[in-house]
Chains A and B, each alone.
Chain A
């Protein structure tokens, strides 16, 4: 169940979006009917919208200025992005361009918006999943912790081998645990399901345990703890990684938009808005 304020906010913003879309359509039709060039108008509307989208990035860098809460700016950013998509299709007349330049422009814009939507979806869903993990860790520290876990595990295993001389635990470690502990693993499936490889490893460990002496067993239990922690780390590594890396794609699509749009405007004006 959503917080009522959030629901209200979404309702209002959606209405505003709808309103501005209608307004855009109307003004474009007016331009067309008044024998002006509707594409010119829709183009400039699109340009303005894209500029507004850029303001968001600017606002983040101008955090010293009293420019209001970024949360509000994000709302503007999100809904303007959707608005862009709408105006873009009007501008192109729902037709896919065949010129390489235009294709690039289209891909860049559509890509930006799509990645934005994906990022938005993750921003709304993944934090909850992260919190449910029940433990926080700074993304930058994950690899460090992993290293720690791995070292500890190796010590345990070595100690166990020295003490007991049996290789049941070390076999298990080299065959399964080592791969799991060696480095933080990114599992796509964690993003849309509660997938975890942990129980598979635990099952294998259980199986291995039967062959172990009591000393090894205790070590194995400790190893199991480490595996659990590593699983937690992987979860963080995956979810936080997704949250942090979708922006890479978003930027990779959106920044090229700037030169493309400018060149597009120049071309269009020098080629007579044909």
Chain B
């Protein structure tokens, strides 16, 4: 039997004391001394002996206990680590030390040293780190630095980066919507995780920090992680996976398209015609193209998609009706009736059957604002037959016609820009448009047109200026009219020819007032007239005409009975006193002379102008006018015919030679390239092609004119489908009630995708097109109509109806709404493709990455300059 290792001499063996740092070296052979070592590990027996004898006798080396050694090792390790940390963090470039994980490629440009590009703490004194344990969440401050570069939406920190009020309204809308959802969809509401999570959503979730979804330092480049559940915390009525997604009610189209295009008629009718089939597109992408992000599909534009068939319609080829737009008209007027009724509007082209154009009306309204409220009435009138027109209508016609004449006169004399001034005055909104409307109208054409329409316009003008007096020669029955006419004439003179009025007022007033005072005994009415009325209206006339504020003046003149009274009285008085006439005549005589002298003096006209002026001075105006007109006409015809005859003769003579004289085309065909021309007393404009500047300008000019007459006129004139240009045949007009007034906008362009603007939905067409090209067999479609795999055409629909009414959303698309199942075929719930964020954006609105100085101001005052790139 083997000897025991330690004979259990329990009686002698002493306590073993593991708690002590040291134990006696004697223990190791079972005979430790009673004293044992002290805490410093010195043998106390030895010390005692040293005390007694001064030197050590037996050497006992105490042994450190395991426990003590163990603790020592632990503490040394801890202190070593502490020392390393202290050294490392007190070292200047301590930042790599604290780097928690590699940055994503997006932020690689901040090196390991650039912590302060994002982290405030990196430049703060390290002592302040501890306080951040208690203080506010630094991620809030650091988030500012994210926003510094990433400008996201209007309120980046808000959910969906939307302004609170917008968010609120959207939320209400969504709640209202989900209220109708069948609860079967709310699969996720049954998910325990989300239910619990909803209980724990805190205040901070209302302004979630960037780090909630964006985790940097994860070593992966995918720093955005949003789970469907996270969406579901707020969207309580959302669904577990795409299979429970709502069916699409108004997706992809939630409004009528900007460009009016009936896919049905095109695909099923037009493209099948023999003559246009070769022009027809082969498949969808011939007309539609993904935007540069490969997301939204855009229309390729007129030149690519439409022009091959529709250009002619715009330029007006093979149009039966007039191929140009009637811009200005020289209307036919029923002058006989007018004369019978004692209304003289001068001469109007007898053989014209033109009607007033919107531009005419516009001009009348501009020149004579008094008439603008009555333009509708005017437009309703048939100027060619005024037999049963009322006095008021006649009065309107009378003034309108004269105003129109005057406008033509001014255009003839001053060119189109004379009209521009007044046009621009009213249409402050877009003066450039007015310029584009009339800018191209050449003075020659105006002159020619006006001269042809009103051969004696100039003489008429001067006559008209003196006119009004002859009206008084009418029978008494018609005196009133005459008187009124006179009065109004004076008025019109007053507004139209200030010089004359001023002269007249200044020259005669005093004289005839004084004479009147001398001749007649009682001065009552005169004094009255002088004090009350004549002074007043004259002064006002002068004053008003000076600051050119016509309306006020007119209103007063019209309303003040006093003037009428005065007129009556004047008439009454004029009956018993004969010498009144006399002085009146003199007065007029003098006037005419004065006017003539002035006219002569100031005339800087060419010779013929002089001639007819001189002649006018001597002879009878009417006869002279006729002769002049006839002569001019004769000359024209003669020369014209001669030329024709000669050419014809030559043609016959040299018939054997193959020289064919190009026949004289109709004038509108001569303007086929686009431009102005005069025909049938219309100044017409023919569009030069798609997006003609004048047409566009004209449409823009008229479209938001609030005047109902203008609008209706405009509709017939340009905006009717069959009017030349036919803009709105394809370009839909959106009417929106904005602040009570209807704003109209013409959609000149199809829907365009914005690279920086993000809505709630995002669909990557490009990648899907790629998928179709590869896996069309799976989808059971061939490449040509691959799009139709999702966009199923609705052959019964008539999208054109949508453009009759005003509500944009109320429409019938040429295609059925997308079928959810179509998506699910590929976007299986278990795949990443089925995440909410696959089709929906979180950050709504403008998303721009701006380069700028970021980084926090360090104590040293240095600002870290980081990369700077501008992404538009």
Interface positions of A (Cβ within 8 A of B):
26, 29-37, 93, 95, 97-102, 104, 108, 135-145, 147-148, 225, 228-229, 232-233, 236, 244, 247-248, 251-256, 258-260, 263, 265-274
Q: What chain A residues lie within 8 Å of B638 (beta carbons)?
A: none
Q: Judge whether B380 is part of the interface by a CB distance below 8 angstroms.
A: no
With A and B bound together, what is the CA distance between A274 and B2 in angstroms? 68
Are A225 and B3 interface neighbours, CB within 8 A? yes
With A and B bound together, what is the CA distance between A144 and B7 in angstroms? 13
With A and B bound together, what is the CA distance between A62 and B340 in angstroms? 130
- B residues 124-143 near A (Cβ < 8 Å) are 124, 128-130, 132-133, 137-143
Are B71 and A251 interface neighbours, CB within 8 A? yes
Are A252 and B211 interface neighbours, CB within 8 A? no
List the B residue with the shortest CB-CB distance to A266. Answer: B129
Chain B residue total in the interface (Cβ 8 A): 76
Q: What chain B residues lie within 8 Å of A271 (beta carbons)?
A: 98, 115, 119, 121-122, 138, 142
With A and B bound together, what is the CA distance between A211 and B216 in angstroms? 79
Are B200 and A31 interface neighbours, CB within 8 A? yes
- Nearest Cβ distance between residue A163 and chain B, in whole angstroms? 23
Sample (25) of A-B pairs whose CB atoms are under 8 Å apart: A30-B197, A30-B200, A33-B229, A35-B212, A37-B211, A95-B219, A97-B100, A99-B100, A100-B88, A101-B88, A101-B98, A101-B99, A140-B28, A143-B28, A147-B28, A236-B5, A251-B70, A260-B85, A268-B100, A269-B132, A270-B124, A270-B129, A270-B130, A272-B139, A273-B211
Are A95 and B218 interface neighbours, CB within 8 A? yes
With A and B bound together, what is the CA distance between A93 and B100 in angstroms? 12
**Which of A98, A265, A273 is close to B139, meaning CB atoms less than 8 Å apart?**
A273
List the B residue with the shortest CB-CB distance to A232. Answer: B5
Q: What chain B residues lie within 8 Å of A138 (beta carbons)?
A: 6, 16
Are A102 and B101 interface neighbours, CB within 8 A? yes
Q: Judge whether B356 is part of the interface by a CB distance below 8 angstroms.
A: no
Are A267 and B218 interface neighbours, CB within 8 A? no
List the B residue with the shortest CB-CB distance to A148. Answer: B29
- Nearest Cβ distance between residue B14 and chain A, in whole angstroms? 12
With A and B bound together, what is the CA distance between A102 and B193 in angstroms? 31
With A and B bound together, what is the CA distance between A268 and B101 in angstroms? 12
Q: What chain A residues lie within 8 Å of B141 (beta carbons)?
A: 272
**Which of B30, B81, B138 is close to A270, meaning CB atoms less than 8 Å apart?**
B138
Are B99 and A98 interface neighbours, CB within 8 A? yes
- B residues 179-217 near A (Cβ < 8 Å) are 193-194, 196-198, 200-202, 204-205, 208, 211-212, 216-217
Which one, B72-80, B461-469, B529-537, B628-636, is touching chain A?
B72-80
Are A272 and B85 interface neighbours, CB within 8 A? no
With A and B bound together, what is the CA distance between A139 and B63 in angstroms? 13
- Other A-B pairs, 11, CB within 8 Å; known A145-B29, A256-B81, A259-B81: A29-B197, A32-B227, A34-B197, A100-B96, A101-B97, A136-B5, A144-B29, A248-B70, A260-B81, A269-B138, A273-B211
Q: Judge whether B520 is part of the interface by a CB distance below 8 angstroms.
A: no
List the A residue with the shortest CB-CB distance to B29. Answer: A144
A100/B97 contact (C-beta < 8 A), A141-B27, A141-B30, A251-B74 known? yes
Chain A binding surface, main DSSP class: helix
Most chain A C-beta atoms within 10 Å of own C-beta, residue among B29, B73, B84, B98: B98
Q: Judge whether B332 is part of the interface by a CB distance below 8 angstroms.
A: no
Q: What chain A residues lie within 8 Å of B216 (beta carbons)?
A: 274
Are A104 and B29 interface neighbours, CB within 8 A? no
Across the A-B interface, give the 6 residue pairs with the lowest CB-CB distance, nearest first: A144-B28, A251-B74, A272-B139, A99-B99, A144-B29, A270-B129
- Nearest Cβ distance between residue B725 and chain A, in whole angstroms? 56
**Which of A104, A137, A147 is close to B6, meaning CB atoms less than 8 Å apart?**
A137
- Nearest Cβ distance between residue A156 and chain B, in whole angstroms? 14
Q: Judge whether B784 is part of the interface by a CB distance below 8 angstroms.
A: no
Q: What chain B residues lie within 8 Å of A147 (beta carbons)?
A: 28-29
Q: Judge whether B801 is part of the interface by a CB distance below 8 angstroms.
A: no
Are A274 and B118 interface neighbours, CB within 8 A? yes
- Nearest Cβ distance between residue A273 and chain B, in whole angstroms? 5
Are A144 and B115 interface neighbours, CB within 8 A? no
Are B219 and A34 interface neighbours, CB within 8 A? no
Q: What chain B residues lie within 8 Å of A225 (beta carbons)?
A: 2-3
With A and B bound together, what is the CA distance between A248 and B75 in angstroms? 11
A266/B133 contact (C-beta < 8 A), A34-B201, A145-B5, A272-B138 known? yes
Are A141 and B198 interface neighbours, CB within 8 A? no
Are B119 and A274 interface neighbours, CB within 8 A? yes
Q: Judge whether B293 is part of the interface by a CB distance below 8 angstroms.
A: no
- Nearest Cβ distance between residue A140 and chain B, in whole angstroms? 6
Q: Judge whether B720 is part of the interface by a CB distance below 8 angstroms.
A: no
**Which of B71, B143, B193, B204 is close to A36, meaning CB atoms less than 8 Å apart?**
B204
Q: Judge whether B82 is part of the interface by a CB distance below 8 angstroms.
A: yes
A272/B142 contact (C-beta < 8 A), A101-B98, A255-B75 known? yes
Q: What chain A residues lie within 8 Å of B71 (beta carbons)?
A: 251
Q: What chain A residues lie within 8 Å of B772 (beta carbons)?
A: none
With A and B bound together, what is the CA distance between A29 and B232 in angstroms? 13
Q: What chain A residues lie within 8 Å of B424 (beta carbons)?
A: none
Q: Judge whether B230 is part of the interface by a CB distance below 8 angstroms.
A: yes
- Nearest Cβ distance between residue A28 and chain B, in whole angstroms? 11
With A and B bound together, what is the CA distance between A99 and B78 in angstroms? 19
Q: Judge whether B689 is part of the interface by a CB distance below 8 angstroms.
A: no
Q: What chain A residues lie within 8 Å of B217 (beta carbons)?
A: 274
- Nearest Cβ distance between residue B449 and chain A, in whole angstroms? 74
Are B81 and A136 interface neighbours, CB within 8 A? no
Q: What chain B residues lie within 8 Å of A32 (beta carbons)?
A: 227, 230
Q: What chain A residues lie within 8 Å of B124 (beta carbons)?
A: 270
With A and B bound together, what is the CA distance between A139 and B23 in angstroms? 13
Are A26 and B193 interface neighbours, CB within 8 A? yes
**Which of B30, B143, B230 is close to A144, meaning CB atoms less than 8 Å apart?**
B30
- Nearest Cβ distance between residue A27 and chain B, in whole angstroms? 9
Are A33 and B211 interface neighbours, CB within 8 A? no
Are A98 and B138 interface neighbours, CB within 8 A? no
Q: What chain A residues lie within 8 Å of B571 (beta carbons)?
A: none
Q: Judge whether B233 is part of the interface by a CB distance below 8 angstroms.
A: yes
Q: Judge whether B809 is part of the interface by a CB distance below 8 angstroms.
A: no
Q: What chain B residues lie within 8 Å of A270 (beta carbons)?
A: 121, 124, 128-130, 132-133, 138
Q: What chain A residues lie within 8 Å of B30 (beta carbons)?
A: 141, 144
Are A229 and B3 interface neighbours, CB within 8 A? yes
A36/B119 contact (C-beta < 8 A), A248-B73, A270-B138 known? no
Q: Judge whether B823 is part of the interface by a CB distance below 8 angstroms.
A: no
Q: Judge whether B102 is part of the interface by a CB distance below 8 angstroms.
A: yes
Q: What chain B residues lie within 8 Å of A260 (beta carbons)?
A: 81, 85
Are A35 and B205 interface neighbours, CB within 8 A? yes
List the B residue with the shortest CB-CB distance to A98. Answer: B102
A269/B133 contact (C-beta < 8 A), A102-B101, A139-B66 known? yes
Q: What chain A residues lie within 8 Å of B84 (beta carbons)?
A: 104
Are B133 and A93 interface neighbours, CB within 8 A? no
With A and B bound together, what is the CA distance between A137 and B66 in angstroms? 16
Are A267 and B129 interface neighbours, CB within 8 A? yes
Q: Judge whether B321 is part of the interface by a CB distance below 8 angstroms.
A: no
Q: What chain B residues lie within 8 Å of A258 (beta carbons)?
A: 78
- Nearest Cβ distance between residue B79 and chain A, in whole angstroms? 9
With A and B bound together, what is the CA distance between A186 and B698 in angstroms? 105
With A and B bound together, what is the CA distance between A98 and B80 in angstroms? 21
A144/B27 contact (C-beta < 8 A), A35-B201, A95-B101, A229-B2 known? yes
Q: Judge whether B737 is part of the interface by a CB distance below 8 angstroms.
A: no
Are A36 and B77 interface neighbours, CB within 8 A? no
Q: Judge whether B53 is part of the interface by a CB distance below 8 angstroms.
A: no
A33/B194 contact (C-beta < 8 A), A99-B100, A102-B101, A274-B211 known? yes
